[in-house]
Structure 1
Amino acid sequence: MAIREIIEVPDPRLKQVSVPVETFDDELKTLVEDMFETMYDAPGIGLAAIQVGVPLRVLVIDLQPDDPDAEPVACDHDGHHHHHQPTKKEPRVFINPEILDPSEEHSLYQEGCLSVPEIYAEVERPARIRARWQDLDGNTHEEEMDGLMATCLQHEMDHLEGVLFIDHLSRLKRNMALKKLEKLRKAA
């Protein structure tokens, strides 16, 4: 197990489209273990393989529902509670995920991203989806999702297409977010 480096904007790799997983082997299992370790360490609630520089269609999500202070989506960087309870709660792996039947009804969540540190913005997405994906053994699953899980899965799946949550914002809001990030980096 190893914590891998999370790449951040404007790394061009975040814009590439990830390729499907074809071999369900030990290398894939190691990647997924490392992704969980990296995500919990950050801490965050979702991570796509491309965020650790691997352009494969692999996502890990753990909403860690007991944490009252977690950000609605992705990364709460002061994360006090995560460190007191580093327990894995509901780790889930999605390989080659697809979305079927997105609802016409949309929901709005404040989202963040480990690759766009400390920036949060409201993003509108279908409130309910049906998802289909494979597990580490290559078996196919289907599930109806709503609420935070639906939002988080869609957010992570965007990464597979080279899309970040800030790409859903107006150009003005996106530029403001990126300027803010630059300022935060200079201050650090």
Structure 2
Amino acid sequence: MILPIVAYGDPVLRKETEVITKQYPKLDVLLNNMFETMYQARGIGLAAPQVGASVRLFIVDATPFEDDEDLSEEEQKFVSTFKRVFINARILDESGDEWAFNEGCLSIPDVREDVFRQPDIVIEYEDENFKKHKETFSGIVARIIQHEYDHIEGILFTDKLSPLKKRLIKSKLANISKGNVSIDYRMKFPNVKKKR
């Protein structure tokens, strides 16, 4: 089932998320719905708070980057099969020289800005079967993970912008929260009673 994506301004995007246990009700249904929702909106990642669930869960599918000419052949091969579920994730380390990449977010449509992040991460997480993993990721995959991880920490990519950039997009963000944005996927706006 395609779920409405929560828009900028909704308090759920700023809440501290809760740890998930094996007893979490209908986790498989939530995961299927999240993947379906993400694909319908043409996203590459989606965090549970973006569909209204304040839990430590996000999904990533980097396969749209497999034909990216800016990636090395090795990176293209890696992203071509990179699809993961991250439960109760914790980034243990971020390293390397920060690099800029133009990021967007399904909860903040029509806003894209350069965000600086470190290229290498070490992350601990559980998969959909609650098997524990500790892995190192680099480049575009690390960036997608960092962006989605921020969501479970109550952080949005717009928080990482300079004060000037934040001022320049302030009215756009206000319009998004009111539903004054053109989109082709379902959204739930905090300052509008009806769903789109």
TM-score range, shorter chain: 0.7 to 0.9
Query: Which residue of the partner structure matches residue 194 of structure 2?
Result: none
Q: Is the Cα–Cα contact under 8 Å of residues 60 and 94 in structure 1 kept in the other structure? A: yes
Pairing of 1:1-188 with structure 2 (within 5 A): 2-23=1-22, 27-65=26-64, 68=67, 90-182=82-174, 186=180, 188=182
Structure 1 outlier segments of 4+, above 6 Å: none
Tell me the alpha carbon deviations over residues 45-104 of structure 1, each in whole angstroms, 9 at most, x when there is no partner: 0000000000010000001245658xx9xxxxxxxxxxxxxxx96431000111122114
Instruction: State the alpha-carbon separation in 1 of the partners of residues 175 and 151 from structure 2.
Output: 24
Rate the CA distance shift 1:139–1:39 in 2: closer, same or farther, 3 A: same
SS at match of 1:19: coil
Q: Which amino acid aligns with 2:171?
A: K
Identity across the alignment (%)? 39
Conserved in 1, the CA contact under 8 Å of 2:109 and 2:181? no
- Are the equivalent residues in 1 in contact too, given 2:94–2:120 (CA < 8 A)? yes
Change (3 A) 1:168 1:41: same
- Which deviates more from structure 2 when the two are superposed, residues 119-128 or residues 102-111? 102-111
TM-score (norm 1): 0.82
Number of the residue aligned with 2:188: none
Superposition deviation, residue 26 in structure 1: 6.1
Cα RMSD for the two superposed structures: 2.3
Structure 1 distance, partners of 2:46, 2:181, is 26
The corresponding residue for 1:81 is: none
SS in 2 for 1:145: strand
Q: Distance in 1 between matches of 2:170 and 2:53?
A: 24
Give 5+ residue unaligned stretches, structure 2. Answer: 72-79, 183-196
Q: TM-score, length-normalised on structure 2?
A: 0.78
> How many equivalent pairs are there?
170
Alpha-carbon separation, structure 2, partners of 1:127 and 1:62: 18
The 2-side partners of 1:115 and 1:132 are apart by 25
Q: Deviations over 1:113-148 (max 9, x none)?
A: 000001001111111011111011111012110111
Q: Is the 8 A contact 1:117 1:181 kept in 2?
A: no
Name stretches of at least 5 consecutive residues in structure 1 with no aligned partner. 73-87
Secondary structure, aligned partner of 1:34: helix
CA deviation after TM superposition for structure 1 residue 31, in Å: 0.7
